[in-house]
């Protein structure tokens, strides 16, 4: 069965966590993971019978024991902290509870343990300001996408591409890319769409490869997403807080992975990113989710990735024009620029309530407007 090599147990853990969600289509999930139903249901039965530890190839000793002493619990706290040096008392406590550890101490006690072992600075951080958070009502309503700042490796620079589900904070991909060009992003998104399905909308920054300029913000990447039936939104220029969840995710990625080591090449980066992505999704308690993990709130999309795109049909009587290589169309005895991103694609012109004004639509998205009352240049 083609479990990915980076971490077989992590792959199985993510598979079962998505499969046990209410309403999950288990056979569709098996197809996306490229495993047969017999294999998929086998790991589901093992997970239901024995939890995460049952997903390993070899048997493991149980993590819980009624005879453990406080000293052993303290050793467990210290070991978990050394495994995740950026986690504080609350996250460590929640993870121990998730692992069914007996007699888990309070978060304040865990913080004191860390301080006694020299794993926490003596001076505490300032109390955080209360934040007003907004999120979509359900998974896959909105995905946020961006490149984290690139960094040097021993064989060139790495450009981490991240895609995050707005509702669940589930990290759908962390791709170690060699550049930030649209074909690179399209390849990474294709693999993500095949595994998780299509979102309703994607939110991204301005500028290449996401946008072009204020007058014609569409790129070939945006046109491809619209062609798939994925609506596209761009954040306000110079307002990174529009993509606040992805920005916060980037800080966590840097603190827990990128900033802690020197890197040989992007292959090594990719393996580390994928390993940590499973930790972030399935193990790391998320404070904004009430210390739940993103995997408990995420469900795969019911909209599968179409390997063959259907023809664009604007309906009978529609005014349709094909975009030329220059990014222009011909209408009303003159040319109008709608964007070279739509080269060779059909667009529809729909009259508005204002006489002589038309919306230019690609698939279901308005991409430009035409006002026949304007004088010709």
Quick: pLDDT tens for 183-236.
999 999 999 999 999 999 999 877 778 776 555 578 889 999 999 999 988 866
Q: Are residues 174 and 279 in the same domain?
A: yes
Q: Tens of pLDDT along 282-309?
A: 988 877 778 888 999 999 999 999 999 8
What's the CA gap between 145 and 156, in Å, rounded?
23
Instruction: Confirm whether 137 is domain-assigned.
Output: no
Average pLDDT of the residues in 324-345: 91
Cα-only R_g, the chain: 25
CATH number for the domain including 277?
3.30.420.10
Residues in contact with 62: Cβ distance below 8 Å, sequence separation at least 6, in sequence order? 53
Q: Are residues 182 and 97 in the same domain?
A: no
Question: pLDDT grade, residue 51 (50/70/90)?
Answer: confident
Q: Are residues 42 and 87 in the same domain?
A: no
Average pLDDT of the residues in 264-277: 94
**What pLDDT score was predicted for residue 177?**
95
Instruction: Confirm whether 157 is domain-assigned.
Output: yes
User: Which domain covers residue 343, as residue numbers?
Assistant: 319-371
Q: Are residues 229 and 290 in the same domain?
A: yes
**Distance set, CA 352 to CA 114, 333, 342, 349, 360 (Å):** 65, 19, 22, 10, 10
Q: Are residues 41 and 147 in the same domain?
A: no
Q: Are residues 233 and 171 in the same domain?
A: yes
CA angle (358 as vertex; 357, 361 as ends), nearest 5: 160
CATH number for the domain including 90?
1.10.10.10
334-337 and 365-371 strand pairing: unpaired
What are the φ/ψ torsions at residue 328 (nearest 5 degrees)?
-115, 160
What's the CA gap between 352 and 329, in Å, rounded?
18
Burial of residue 70, with CB atoms counted within 10 A of its CB: 0-12 exposed, 13-18 middle, 19 or more buried: exposed
Q: Are residues 49 and 101 in the same domain?
A: no
User: Which of 231, 264, 296 corresponds to the end of one domain?
Assistant: 296
DSSP 8-state secondary structure symbol assigned to residue 370: E
**Is pLDDT above 90 for 106?**
no
SS3 166: coil
How many other C-beta atoms lie within 10 A of the C-beta of residue 260?
A: 11
Instruction: Confirm whether 215 is domain-assigned.
Output: yes
DSSP 8-state secondary structure symbol assigned to residue 292: B
357-362 and 365-371 strand pairing: antiparallel
Q: Are residues 84 and 182 in the same domain?
A: no
Structure tokens at 100: 């069914």
CA angle (240 as vertex; 236, 243 as ends), nearest 5: 90
How many other C-beta atoms lie within 10 A of the C-beta of residue 9?
A: 14
Instruction: Confirm whether 61 is domain-assigned.
Output: no
Q: Are residues 217 and 271 in the same domain?
A: yes
Burial of residue 65, with CB atoms counted within 10 A of its CB: 0-12 exposed, 13-18 middle, 19 or more buried: exposed
Better pLDDT: 63 or 360:
360
Cα–Cα nearest to 250, from 307, 205, 210, 220: 205
Query: Cβ distance 113 to 121 under 8 Å?
Result: no
Structure tokens at 88: 């504080």
Q: Are residues 195 and 171 in the same domain?
A: yes
Q: How many structural domains comprise the chain?
A: 4
**What pLDDT score was predicted for residue 263?**
93
What are the φ/ψ torsions at residue 110 (nearest 5 degrees)?
-65, -40
Instruction: Confirm whether 132 is domain-assigned.
Output: no
**Is pLDDT above 60 for 66?**
no
Instruction: Confirm whether 312 is domain-assigned.
Output: no
Report percent pLDDT > 70 for the chain: 85
Instruction: Confirm whether 227 is domain-assigned.
Output: yes
Residues in contact with 196: Cβ distance below 8 Å, sequence separation at least 6, in sequence order? 32, 140, 172, 300, 301
Instruction: Confirm whether 304 is domain-assigned.
Output: no
User: Which of 281, 296, 311 corresponds to the end of one domain?
Assistant: 296
What's the CA gap between 158 and 245, in Å, rounded?
22
Query: Cβ distance 77 to 108 under 8 Å?
Result: no
Q: Tens of pLDDT along 117-154?
A: 666 654 444 444 444 456 778 999 999 999 988 999 99
Q: Are residues 154 and 248 in the same domain?
A: yes
Burial of residue 250, with CB atoms counted within 10 A of its CB: 0-12 exposed, 13-18 middle, 19 or more buried: buried
Q: Are residues 44 and 107 in the same domain?
A: no
């Amino acid at each position: 069965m083609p479990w990915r090599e980076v971490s077989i147990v992590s792959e199985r853990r993510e598979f079962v966590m998505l499969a046990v969600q209410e309403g999950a289509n288990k056979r569709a999930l098996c197809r996306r993971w490229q495993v047969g139903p017999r294999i998929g249901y086998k790991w589901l039965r093992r997970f239901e019978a024995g939890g995460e530890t049952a997903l390993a190839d070899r048997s493991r000793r149980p993590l819980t024991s009624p005879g453990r002493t406080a000293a052993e619990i303290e050793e467990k706290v210290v070991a978990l902290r050394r495994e995740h040096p950026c986690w504080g008392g609350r996250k460590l406590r929640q993870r121990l509870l998730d692992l069914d550890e007996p007699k888990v101490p309070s978060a304040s006690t865990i913080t004191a343990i860390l301080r006694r072992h020299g794993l926490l600075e003596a001076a505490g951080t300032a109390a955080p300001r209360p934040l007003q958070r907004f999120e979509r009502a359900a998974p896959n309503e909105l995905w946020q996408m961006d490149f984290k700042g690139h960094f040097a490796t021993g064989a060139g620079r790495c450009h981490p591409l991240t895609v995050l589900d707005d509702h669940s904070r589930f990290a759908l991909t962390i791709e170690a890319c060699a550049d930030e060009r649209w074909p690179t992003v399209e390849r990474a998104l294709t693999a993500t769409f095949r595994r998780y399905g299509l979102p309703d909308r994607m939110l991204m920054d301005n500028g290449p490869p996401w946008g072009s300029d204020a007058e014609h913000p569409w790129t070939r990447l945006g046109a491809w997403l619209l062609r798939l039936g994925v609506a596209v939104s761009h954040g306000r220029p110079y307002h990174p807080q529009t993509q606040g969840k992805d920005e916060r995710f980037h800080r966590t990625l840097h603190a827990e992975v990128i900033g802690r080591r020197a890197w040989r090449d992007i292959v090594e980066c990719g393996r580390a990113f994928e390993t940590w992505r499973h930790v972030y999704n399935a193990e790391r308690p998320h404070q904004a989710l009430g210390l739940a993990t993103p995997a408990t709130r995420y469900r795969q999309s019911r909209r599968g990735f179409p390997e063959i795109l259907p023809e664009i049909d604007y309906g009978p009587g529609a005014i349709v024009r094909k975009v030329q290589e220059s990014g222009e169309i011909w209408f009303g005895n003159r040319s109008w620029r709608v964007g070279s991103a739509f080269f060779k694609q059909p667009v529809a012109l729909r009259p508005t309530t204002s006489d002589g004004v038309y919306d230019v639509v690609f698939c279901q998205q308005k991409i430009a407007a035409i006002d026949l009352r304007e004088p010709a240049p």
